[in-house]
């Protein structure tokens, strides 16, 4: 592609400005819609939004690759994909930062408790290597690094939290801790899931770029914005579909769903415990009531059927005893 | 090598202006459409039986002498059954009525929190059986024909096996039978290989009670996230200024997102016994106190599947032949996807006559 830096810059600025204007005006229009219409209108705005963002991403990626598409094109392609990978991984990294901050608080606390400081020191000792790998390698390094912190937490503060509680709030305290554990597990699973999706996204984008090149070689360049999006959608859904079938992905997704539901169960236990101190019926109490109603309803239905059956037989029996019937 | 992106800023601007104009015009159209304007379910019908949240409808026959044996449609618990009568020119029900079939439909309604404890036994030996009895009594017939769709087909297989004296012919449509077919992403995600590690169903039901429709929807959208979340709306831009096509799109959209919650205990059994442990084809599913042994299913069966079905893979439906005792078994397919079975014009044209002829040949 014979694109210079200046036109690329202009295209970027144009897309940014266009994006801004389109989003504002379309959002204002959707305010009038309602129900399904509103939902669809919002999806249209979001689609427009995604199209423009994606267009920018694609053009930037290609403009970086294209000038070097000669002998060392593969290397530039790899470099560009690596940059994209880092972009896709931004979300989990940001998310992980929250976790690290929490870890940092615990670390400070643990400085005061020399006895259990050692595992944290160990994790920090190992961290630089993982940081290095994360910066240049696949997302698994990010997960490994995250795991270091989680393991350290479990061996220190987590273990401390697990020690038996005392006093009249013992049970509630126990529930709180279990809830916290469930929440941590959900965070970990969520982090791992985000990293996995970022990895799949990177692969999808790689495949997308290869598809574009293949099209160009066949003399079928992409000539419009929407055409570009359709090519992207076709490629990316295939890559995702393949990844979604892998045992690795299913395990990660399973962990996410299972930890989310486990946390929700703990959350409800806590809510129940708090509601117990008020005059408000808890979810569990309502469920119990519903179960009783369900059982009673079923019994009533069975009894009704029995009565109907008995009634149906009764006239027949009466008729059979009547002189006319026997005659 | 030619550049893969032959897009110049001025062309892009032109295309984006055009795109935006269409979107703006479309949104203007959309803003005038109220929820009640998106009408679904066209054929006239009357409610003939109601129990708890479910209703049995009879569609008004359009021929003087409908078939002697009525047809009861058993739809899935997932999504709403008005899909079979979505709009006038896309109505399987209307086409069946035109061919003289007397059509009944079980509408499962929207399970409330109070329905959380409903089991598959309640659905199959309770609701379906009571509906079938109602139809039998109304028409003075011993047996009815059943058309089971998707999960409703699986329920119908169980029902027919357990109540062979009440079913004359069984039609299954896009019905999952072998739940361990790898081609089906829903099978894999539901834990057909990993069990609770893929999905801890007990935890899910314990956490939610009834399984929220939104959760189910998210799962379906995730099967093709970009096509269903982005591509569909990009394609829609072309029909925004066509009122009729836009209305059709909105009807479909309404149906997709009109997802009832799933009764917790029924969901638990369906996911664990069918998806995770594949008990239906092993002859181990228990409905109430009875075990479903498909070998005892001996009524004539017409099994219809979609060749490009990404929800119920063809192999999952085709497997039925190997497990039932029926000697009168017919297999029919259409070159469409799962949803195409309801809306494709080819299916609309060919399926009802196929079904009608098949039933006629079997004394209906």
Q: Which residue of B has its CA nearest to A67?
A: B3
Tell which phi-psi region holds residue B259, choosing left (phi > 0), alpha (psi between -120 and 50) or beta: beta
Host H or E run for residue B304: strand B301-306
Same domain as A109, residue A203: yes
Which residues does chain B have within 8 Å of residue A49's beta carbon, measured at their own beta carbons?
A: none
Partners of residue B291 on adjacent β-strands:
B286
In a domain, A126, yes or no: yes
In a domain, B7, yes or no: no
* 8 Å CB contact of B16 and A223: no
A167-222 pLDDT per residue, tens: 556 666 677 777 777 888 888 888 888 888 888 888 888 888 888 888 888 888 88
Active site (annotated) includes residue B150: yes
CB-based contacts of A315-324 (< 8 A; 24+ apart in sequence): none
- Nearest-5° Cα angle at B177, B50 to A256: 90
In a domain, B117, yes or no: yes
**Cβ distance B162 to B141 under 8 Å?**
no
- Does residue A327 surpass a pLDDT of 80? no
Same domain as A144, residue A28: no
Does the beta carbon of B237 lie under 8 angstroms from any beta carbon of chain A? yes
* Beta pairing class for B144-149 and B167-173: parallel
In a domain, A164, yes or no: yes
| Cα–Cα distance measured from residue B106 to residue B337, given in angstroms and rounded to the nearest whole number | 24
**Cβ distance A85 to A202 under 8 Å?**
yes
Same domain as A141, residue A117: yes
From A53-67, A105-119, A149-163, A283-297, the region with the lowest mean pLDDT: A105-119
**Cβ distance A30 to A42 under 8 Å?**
yes
A230-275 pLDDT per residue, tens: 888 889 889 999 999 999 999 999 999 999 999 888 888 888 877 8
pLDDT in the model for residue A99: 44
Query: Dmax over Cα atoms in chain B, in whole Å?
Result: 76
Which residues does chain A have within 8 Å of residue B26's beta carbon, measured at their own beta carbons?
A: 41, 44
In a domain, A327, yes or no: no
Q: What is the CATH number of the domain that holds B143?
A: 3.40.50.1820
Taking Cα atoms as reference points, which of B79, B64, B71, B116 lies closest to residue B264? B116
Q: Which residue of B has its CA nearest to A49?
A: B230
Where among A28, A45, A68 does a domain terminate?
A68
- For residue A168, count other CB atoms closer than 10 A to its CB: 7
In a domain, A292, yes or no: no
Considering only the beta carbons, identify the residue of A34, A233, A251 that sits closest to B227.
A233
In a domain, A312, yes or no: no
Three-class secondary structure of residue A188 per DSSP: helix
Same domain as A99, residue A226: yes
Q: Which residue of A has its CA nearest to B6?
A: A223
**Chain B: closest CA distance from residue A2 (Å):** 8
Q: Which residue of B has its CA nearest to A8?
A: B9
Same domain as A224, residue A109: yes
Which residues does chain B have within 8 Å of residue A283's beta carbon, measured at their own beta carbons?
A: 209
Same domain as A34, residue A112: no
Task: Tell me what the mean pLDDT of segment A94-100 comes to.
Answer: 46
Task: Tell me what the mean pLDDT of segment A7-36 comes to.
Answer: 57
pLDDT in the model for residue A117: 35
Same domain as A62, residue A183: no
* 8 Å CB contact of B227 and A237: yes
Same domain as A94, residue A60: no
Q: Which residue of A has its CA nearest to B247?
A: A37
**Cβ distance B64 to B139 under 8 Å?**
no
In a domain, A37, yes or no: yes
**Cβ distance B22 to B31 under 8 Å?**
no
- Mutation target to probe the A interface, by most A beta carbons within 10 A, among B15, B20, B23, B27 is B27
| Cα–Cα distance measured from residue A61 to residue A3, given in angstroms and rounded to the nearest whole number | 12
Which residues fall within 8 angstroms of residue A172, CB to CB, at 6 or more apart?
A273
| Cα–Cα distance measured from residue B131 to residue B138, given in angstroms and rounded to the nearest whole number | 11
- Mutation target to probe the B interface, by most B beta carbons within 10 A, among A208, A209, A250, A267 is A250
Q: Token pair of B321, please?
A: 């032949």
- Nearest-5° Cα angle at B323, B319 to B324: 115
* 8 Å CB contact of A261 and B185: no
Considering only the beta carbons, identify the residue of A35, A250, A293 that sits closest to B114.
A293
What single string gives the DSSP state of each residue in A128-186? HHHHHHHHHS-THHHHHHHHHHHHHHHHTHHHHHHSPP-STTHHHHHHHHHHHHHHHHH
Q: Which residue of A has its CA nearest to B215?
A: A257
In a domain, B15, yes or no: no
Which residues fall within 8 angstroms of residue A127, CB to CB, at 6 or more apart?
A145, A148
Low-confidence ranges of chain B (pLDDT < 70): 1-4, 7, 9-10
Distance of CA A255 to CAs A93, A124, B198, B203, Å?
A: 19, 27, 7, 12
**Chain A: closest CA distance from residue B182 (Å):** 8
| Cα–Cα distance measured from residue A107 to residue A101, given in angstroms and rounded to the nearest whole number | 10
Which residues does chain A have within 8 Å of residue B35's beta carbon, measured at their own beta carbons?
A: 34-37
**Chain A: closest CA distance from residue B233 (Å):** 6
B101-138 pLDDT per residue, tens: 999 999 999 999 999 999 999 999 999 999 999 999 99
Same domain as A173, residue A33: no
* 8 Å CB contact of B19 and A226: yes
In a domain, A324, yes or no: no
| Cα–Cα distance measured from residue A56 to residue B86, given in angstroms and rounded to the nearest whole number | 40
- Evaluated on CA atoms B119, B123, B125, B130, the torsion sign reads positive
**Cβ distance B211 to B198 under 8 Å?**
no
Count how many domains chain A has. 2
Q: Which domain holds residue B169?
A: 35-361
**Chain A: closest CA distance from residue B114 (Å):** 5
A128-168 pLDDT per residue, tens: 444 344 444 555 655 665 665 566 556 555 555 555 555 55
Catalytic, out of B131, B150, B158, B192: B150
Does the beta carbon of B231 lie under 8 angstroms from any beta carbon of chain A? yes
pLDDT in the model for residue A78: 62
Which residues does chain A have within 8 Å of residue B187's beta carbon, measured at their own beta carbons?
A: none
Q: Which domain holds residue A208?
A: 82-276
Where among A276, A295, A318 does a domain terminate?
A276
In a domain, B306, yes or no: yes
Taking Cα atoms as reference points, which of B233, B18, B222 lies closest to residue A47? B233
Same domain as A147, residue A216: yes
Same domain as A45, residue A18: yes
pLDDT classification of A119: cutoffs 50, 70, 90: very low
In a domain, A320, yes or no: no
Same domain as A163, residue A31: no
**Cβ distance B38 to A36 under 8 Å?**
yes
pLDDT in the model for residue A22: 57
| Cα–Cα distance measured from residue B126 to residue B130, given in angstroms and rounded to the nearest whole number | 6
**Cβ distance B210 to B116 under 8 Å?**
yes
Mean per-residue pLDDT over chain A, rounded: 68
Across the A:B interface, residue pairs with CB atoms under 8 Å apart total 228
Select the more confidently predicted residue: B303 or A100.
Answer: B303
Select the more confidently predicted residue: A152 or A288.
Answer: A288
Count how many domains chain B has. 1
**Cβ distance B102 to B66 under 8 Å?**
yes
Where among A256, A276, A296 does a domain terminate?
A276
**Chain B: closest CA distance from residue A132 (Å):** 32
- Mutation target to probe the B interface, by most B beta carbons within 10 A, among A224, A284, A293 is A224
The percentage of chain A sitting over the pLDDT mark of 70, rounded to a whole number, equals 43
């Amino acid at each position: 592609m014979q694109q210079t830096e200046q036109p690329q810059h202009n295209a970027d600025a144009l897309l940014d400005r266009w994006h801004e204007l389109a989003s504002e005006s379309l959002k204002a229009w959707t305010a009038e819609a309602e129900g399904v219409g509103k939902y669809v209108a919002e999806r249209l705005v979001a689609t427009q939004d995604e199209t423009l963002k994606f267009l920018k991403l694609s053009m930037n990626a290609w403009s970086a690759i294209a000038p070097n598409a000669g002998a060392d094109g593969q290397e530039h392609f790899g470099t560009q994909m690596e940059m994209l990978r880092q972009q896709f991984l931004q979300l989990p990294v940001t998310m992980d930062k929250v976790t690290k901050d929490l870890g940092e608080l615990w670390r400070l606390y643990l400085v005061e408790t020399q006895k259990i400081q050692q595992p944290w020191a160990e994790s920090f000792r190992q961290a630089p290597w993982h940081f290095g790998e994360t910066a240049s390698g696949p997302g698994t390094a990010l997960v490994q690094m995250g795991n270091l912190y989680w393991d350290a937490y479990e061996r220190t503060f987590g273990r401390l939290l697990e020690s038996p509680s005392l006093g009249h709030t013992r049970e509630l305290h126990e529930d709180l801790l279990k809830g916290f554990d469930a929440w941590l597990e959900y965070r970990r699973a969520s982090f791992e899931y985000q990293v996995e999706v970022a990895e799949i996204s990177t692969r999808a984008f790689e495949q997308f770029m290869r598809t574009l090149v293949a099209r160009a070689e066949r003399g079928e360049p992409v000539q419009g914005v929407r055409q570009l999006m359709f090519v992207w959608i076709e490629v990316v859904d295939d890559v995702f579909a393949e990844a979604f079938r892998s045992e690795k992905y299913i395990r990660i997704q399973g962990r996410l769903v299972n930890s989310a539901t486990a946390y929700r169960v703990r959350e409800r236990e806590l809510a129940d415990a708090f509601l117990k101190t008020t005059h408000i019926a808890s979810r569990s109490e309502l469920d119990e009531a519903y179960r009783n109603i369900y059982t009673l309803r079923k019994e009533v239905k069975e009894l009704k059927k029995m009565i109907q059956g008995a009634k149906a037989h009764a006239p027949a029996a009466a008729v059979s005893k009547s002189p006319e019937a026997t005659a | 090598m030619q550049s893969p992106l032959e897009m110049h800023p001025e062309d892009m601007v032109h295309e984006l202006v055009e795109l935006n104009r269409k979107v703006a015009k479309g949104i203007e159209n959309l803003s005038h459409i109220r929820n009640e304007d998106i009408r679904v379910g066209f054929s006239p019908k009357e409610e003939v039986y109601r129990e708890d949240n479910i209703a049995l409808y009879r569609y008004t026959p359009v021929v003087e002498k409908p078939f002697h044996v009525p047809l009861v449609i058993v739809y899935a618990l997932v999504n709403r059954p008005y899909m079979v009568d979505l709009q006038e020119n896309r109505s399987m029900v209307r086409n069946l009525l035109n061919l003289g079939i007397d059509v009944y439909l079980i509408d499962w309604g929207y399970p409330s929190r109070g329905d959380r404890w409903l089991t598959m036994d309640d659905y199959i030996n309770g609701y379906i059986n009571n509906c079938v009895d109602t139809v039998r009594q109304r028409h003075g017939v011993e047996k009815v024909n059943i058309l089971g769709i998707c999960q409703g087909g699986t329920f119908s297989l169980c029902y027919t096996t357990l109540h062979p004296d009440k079913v004359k012919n069984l039609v299954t449509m896009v019905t999952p039978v072998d739940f361990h077919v790898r081609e089906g992403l829903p099978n894999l995600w539901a834990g057909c290989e990993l069990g609770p590690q893929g999905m801890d169903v007990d935890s899910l039901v314990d956490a939610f009670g009834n399984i929220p429709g939104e959760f189910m929807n998210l799962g379906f959208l995730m099967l093709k996230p970009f096509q269903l979340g982005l591509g569909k709306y990009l394609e829609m831009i072309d029909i925004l200024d066509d009122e009729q096509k836009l209305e059709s799109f909105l009807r479909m959209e309404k149906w997709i997102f009109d997802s009832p919650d799933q009764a917790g205990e029924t969901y638990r059994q369906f996911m664990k016994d069918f998806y995770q442990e594949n008990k239906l084809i092993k002859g181990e599913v228990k409905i109430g106190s009875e075990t479903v042994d498909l070998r005892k299913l001996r009524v004539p069966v017409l099994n219809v599947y979609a060749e490009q079905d990404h929800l119920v893979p063809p192999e999952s439906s085709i497997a039925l032949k190997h497990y039932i005792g029926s000697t009168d078994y017919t297999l029919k397919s259409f070159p469409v996807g799962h949803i195409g079975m309801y809306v494709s014009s080819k299916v609309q044209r060919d399926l009802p006559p196929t079904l009608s002829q098949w039933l006629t040949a079997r004394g209906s």
